[in-house]
Each structure stands twice: as C-alpha cells, then as structure tokens.
C-alpha cells in the first residue's frame, strides 16, 4: 500500500486530500499543530471516516519532522502546512518566516537525508508574482480586467515577492526548485490561486469565497477591503485533490512548476460573488467598504494551459455548482461553523 504524508493535514486542503487518497487505498499519515480554526473538528471527522496516523507537530521543529519522515518514508508528501494570510505576515513577519521558510527547509532536508525517493508536492501561491504592475488593467462596473490580449498569467511571469507572506512562500518555492536541481529530489511546485470548498473554515484573511458565503448565509455584514472589484480565479477543492492524485502517478513532472486555479472561465470579483449569493440564498447582503489592504492584487487569473497539456487536467466544477456544494455544507454544519468562527 502506498503511503502519503500530508503536512497541515487537518487543514482545509489537507483534510480533503486525506479523504480522497484514503478512498483510493493509500495509507494516510498527517502532521498538523492544530493551530487553525476548525482543524480539530476536521481531524475528528477524518478519524471517524478513515484510518490514519496523526502527529501533532509543527513543521518548524526539525527534530520531530525529520524523525517522522525517516520513519514513514512516504511515497508522496503534500506540504500544505504554513502561515496562509498576507495580513498576518505583515503583523508578525518572524512567525510567518518560521512557518513558511523554515518549515519548508525542514521538509526538504528530511527528504534529502532520509527519504530521497519521496515525491514532494509543495503548495505555493500566486503571491510570488506580486501585484503584476507591468500588466495594464482596466476597471469595469463590477470587476477589473487585463487589457489588450492578456487574459491570464502563466509560469513565465517574473517573480516579484510582495509582502512578508509573498517573500516567505516565494523563498520556499525557490528552495524546493533548487533542492530538486542540486540534490535530485522529486518535486513539483503548485502556485495556487484561490481554493474553496467544504471543510474550509474561511476567515477574513484567507479563504474569501467560503468566508463571504458563510457571512451571507448567516446574514452578517461583509467587510470589503478596496472597491470589491478585485478578481481571482477560483478552484473547487474536489478538482484540486484529483490533480494531486494525478501528480502522484506521473513521473514526467520532476522539478516542474505549475500555476493552478480555476482559470479564466472560473474567475469572479467580490461584488460578483455577492450578487450570485444574493440570488442563491434569496437574501440581500449588507457590506461595508474599508481601505485597500497592503499587498492585495487587483486581479490575478491563472493560466492553466501548461498543467492541462502535461496532465490532461482542468477544472470540472463551475462556480455555481461549487457554491451550491459550499452552501449545502454550511447548512448541514451551521451550528458548528457558528461556534468555531464565533459569528
């Protein structure tokens, strides 16, 4: 039986990945320090539904992390653990560094020294590209758009780390790529846009699609930072975990970087999301606008043509269907979500 180790395994992406790989007969190992809201609840759900081995460990602790990897020697390691919010990185850049850079180094060193046959999927971010200021942007009634022939951003876009979060994730991104070149590790870097879906206890700083959907469902006031015309491409979690499984089977992607998201067809702005939710929930949303947050991109849309070509992968779940699934999950877990998020 193949073995998978997931760091941040009780988080949103980690939990969904564990369920999917268990369904496909993999042996599941999880690392998480359980610091995120909802992680304890996710872990409890996982334990009720699948067999797993769990380690309560912070990946910034090299001794503990290396011992686990040396013992398991996983076929696949998905590195999801880390600090995930730009705003928190601005407030506390040292913790952001320890979580994202030191954590990644510890994973890489552990694989290099004790488990060199492990395939590593590193979860990176579109924030490594910065605000993409050289691209011309136009402002419409409800969204920003790229000007001229540009519709999305591919992997050739120059890196421009912006915010401590961009610096820490970008540094980890580059360490992973270089460990593959220098030490021959089997790595793939995924620069992700916005992922949303079930078991995501979204917060104001991260997971905006699910967070706004939760606020809309409970008829709470929504905070909009900026004018609400910011655009992202969004990807439902089910499509992402299927991509992980495809990557676990493919060996032609060593030391490859991919942009991963919903692509042009699955992009929307904050205002557009609010409009969709009002129709689906038949409720009028209340919102208040605040000043722009540091490091916020006005528009980012992933060009996913490279990964589509290499792996024959593309998103199957459209925005409307994905939101229906999220609303159903909120409805089935409304009291629990209210308690965890204190809304």
DSSP H/E element including 182: helix 163-183
pLDDT tens by residue, 34-85: 998 899 999 999 999 999 999 999 999 999 999 999 999 999 999 999 988 8
- What is the rounded CA–CA span in Å between residue 287 and residue 31? 37
Q: Are the beta carbons of 290 and 330 closer than 8 angstroms?
A: no
Nearest 5°: CA angle at 84, between 139 and 180?
Answer: 105
Nearest 5°: CA angle at 88, between 19 and 304?
Answer: 50
Nearest 5°: CA angle at 158, between 189 and 112?
Answer: 30
Q: What percent of the chain has pLDDT over 70?
A: 99
Q: How many helices (DSSP H) and strands (DSSP E) are in the chain?
A: 13, 15
Mean pLDDT along residues 130-139? 80
What is the number of structural domains in the chain? 1
pLDDT tens by residue, 277-290: 999 999 899 889 99
Query: What is the pLDDT, as a whole number, of residue 42?
Result: 96
Burial class (CB in 10 A: 0-12, 13-18, 19+), 7: buried
Residue 328: CATH number of its domain: 3.40.50.720
Torsion of Cα atoms, 55 then 58 then 62 then 63, to 10°: -40
Of 327 and 132, which is predicted with more confidence? 327
Contact partners, residue 35, CB within 8 Å, separation at least 6: none
Mean pLDDT along residues 16-32? 98
- The pair of structure tokens assigned to 131 is 């605000």
The alpha carbon of residue 292 and the mean position of all alpha carbons in its chain are separated, in whole angstroms, by 22
- What is the rounded CA–CA span in Å between residue 334 and residue 213? 12
- What is the rounded CA–CA span in Å between residue 286 and residue 215? 10
CA atoms within 13 A on the CB side of 316: 9
Pairing of strands 27-32, 3-7: parallel
Range of the domain at 193: 3-341
Active site residues: 165
Q: Is the pLDDT of residue 243 over 90?
A: yes
Query: What is the pLDDT, as a whole number, of residue 202?
Result: 76
Q: Are the beta carbons of 160 and 131 closer than 8 angstroms?
A: yes
Pairing of strands 267-269, 194-196: unpaired
- The pair of structure tokens assigned to 41 is 């609840």
Q: What percent of the chain has pLDDT over 90?
A: 84
- What is the rounded CA–CA span in Å between residue 57 and residue 103? 11
Q: Nearest CA to 109 among 99, 98, 120?
A: 120
Contact partners, residue 115, CB within 8 Å, separation at least 6: 69, 70, 72, 73, 74
- Report the first-to-last Cα separation within the chain, whole angstroms: 42
Q: Are the beta carbons of 176 and 101 closer than 8 angstroms?
A: no
Tokens 């490859």, residue located: 256
Query: What is the pLDDT, as a whole number, of residue 178?
Result: 97
Query: What is the pLDDT, as a whole number, of residue 294?
Result: 75
Tokens 């421009």, residue located: 160
């Amino acid at each position: 039986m193949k073995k998978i180790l997931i760091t941040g395994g009780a988080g949103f992406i980690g939990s969904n990945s564990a369920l999917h790989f268990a369904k496909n007969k993999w042996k599941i190992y999880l690392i998480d320090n359980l610091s995120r809201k909802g992680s304890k609840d996710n872990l409890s759900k996982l334990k009720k539904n699948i067999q797993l081995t769990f380690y309560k460990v912070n990946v910034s602790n090299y001794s503990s992390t290396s011992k686990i990897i040396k013992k398991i020697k996983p076929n696949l390691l998905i590195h999801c653990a880390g600090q995930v919010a730009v705003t928190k990185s601005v407030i506390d850049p040292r913790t952001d560094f320890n979580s994202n850079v030191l954590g990644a180094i510890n994973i890489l060193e552990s694989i290099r020294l004790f488990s060199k046959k492990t395939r590593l999927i590193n979860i990176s971010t579109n924030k490594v590209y910065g605000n993409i200021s050289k691209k011309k942007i136009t402002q419409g009634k409800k969204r920003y758009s790229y000007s001229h022939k540009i519709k999305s951003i591919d992997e050739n876009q120059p890196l421009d780390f912006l915010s401590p979060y961009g610096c820490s994730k970008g540094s980890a991104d580059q360490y992973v790529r270089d460990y593959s070149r220098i030490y021959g590790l089997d790595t793939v870097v995924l620069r992700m846009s916005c992922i949303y879906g079930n078991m995501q206890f979204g917060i104001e700083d991260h997971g905006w699609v699910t967070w706004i959907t939760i606020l809309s469902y409970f008829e709470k006031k929504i905070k909009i930072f900026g004018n609400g015309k910011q655009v992202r491409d969004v990807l439902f979690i089910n499509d992402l975990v299927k991509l992980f499984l495809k990557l676990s089977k493919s060996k032609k992607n060593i030391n490859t970087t991919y942009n991963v998201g919903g692509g042009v067809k699955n992009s929307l702005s904050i205002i557009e999301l609010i409009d969709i939710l009002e129709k689906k929930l038949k409720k009028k949303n209340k919102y208040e606008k605040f000043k722009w947050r540091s490091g916020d991109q006005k528009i980012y849309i992933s060009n996913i043509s490279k990964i589509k070509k290499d792996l024959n992968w593309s998103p199957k779940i459209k925005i409307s269907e994905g939101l229906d699934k999220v609303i159903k999950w909120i409805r089935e877990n409304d009291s629990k979500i209210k308690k965890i998020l204190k809304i």
